[in-house]
Structure 1
């Protein structure tokens, strides 16, 4: 009886630790020829790891919802503009203190695979100085 309970507990723990099919979404810039993540979006559960188009479509839809169709001046629910949120993320998570005229692109990845461009980008460019967003026209 104890052995059965131990085997069952071990099997349940193993199953809980397994990754389930997941679609991750992110916002990236190309910084000195290197793709850099400037914002992560909450992941989506998907049916399987072959649903690439579904994942890309989910991420593109989420990107457009968050950014008001790609506008860095769009005000989010927390009161920050999208640009301000991205500048803070870039400073805190990527140690990027200065960004100048960076287009932001939406990306998707399936089941921890490679990131793929999902077809959406911002309509304006990202400019940051020490975590503060400002219009690139002020350069």
Structure 2
């Protein structure tokens, strides 16, 4: 058999090599975990049948911490972001592209083959450091109605 018996001790070079590999592995893990900064996600959702569907997600932002102060910072940034992109939740506001905010949402839903969607409110949520989504306290001013993928006024 080519190997050495289990009772034989390692050569000093082998011990040194194993220690270097172990230190390199620990250093790599420490460096990777040090790069994880607290982050915030912000999105708009609608309820569809038995699930929530994300209809917009803002770019992720770095916050100060994953604690209460970071959560407050995240919520405030999310409220500001959602109000800016939706003209304070007005689904009938015209965007720079010449279509309504609601049409953006209807177009997004139609990509998932949801073309008929009636009387739903869009709600804003934020997520801190991968935790649960939390309601940001913002919602659309009107109900969303899509007919064949086209934004239209809702009829009760």
TM-score interval, smaller chain:
0.7 to 0.9
How many residues are aligned here? 131
CA distance in 2, matches of 1:17, 1:49: 14
CA distance in 2, matches of 1:45, 1:116: 17
Cα distance, 1:18 vs. partner? 5.0
CA distance in 1, matches of 2:34, 2:105: 32
Which residue does the alignment assign to 1:56? 75
Q: 5+ unaligned residues in a row in structure 1: which ranges? A: none
User: 1:47 aligned to 52, 61, 64, which one?
Assistant: 64
Label 1:19 to 1:131 Cα distance change in 2 as closer, same or farther (>3 A): farther
- Does 1 or 2 have the higher relative contact order (CA < 8 Å, sep 6+)? 1
What is the TM-score with the length of structure 2 in the denominator?
A: 0.72
What is the TM-score with the length of structure 1 in the denominator?
A: 0.80
Cα distance, 1:49 vs. partner? 1.4
Cα distance, 1:34 vs. partner? 2.2
**Kept in 2: contact 1:37–1:90 (CA 8 A):** no
CA distance in 2, matches of 1:78, 1:41: 18
Which residue does the alignment assign to 2:141? 123
Superposition CA RMSD, Å:
2.6
Cα distance, 1:16 vs. partner? 9.0
CA distance in 1, matches of 2:84, 2:108: 19
Structure 1 residues 1-139: aligned runs within 5 Å: 11=28, 15=32, 18-50=35-67, 51-92=70-111, 94-137=112-155
Deviations 1:57-92 (A, max 9, x none): 111111111111110011223332110111111222
For the pair shown, the structure with the greater C-alpha radius of gyration is 2
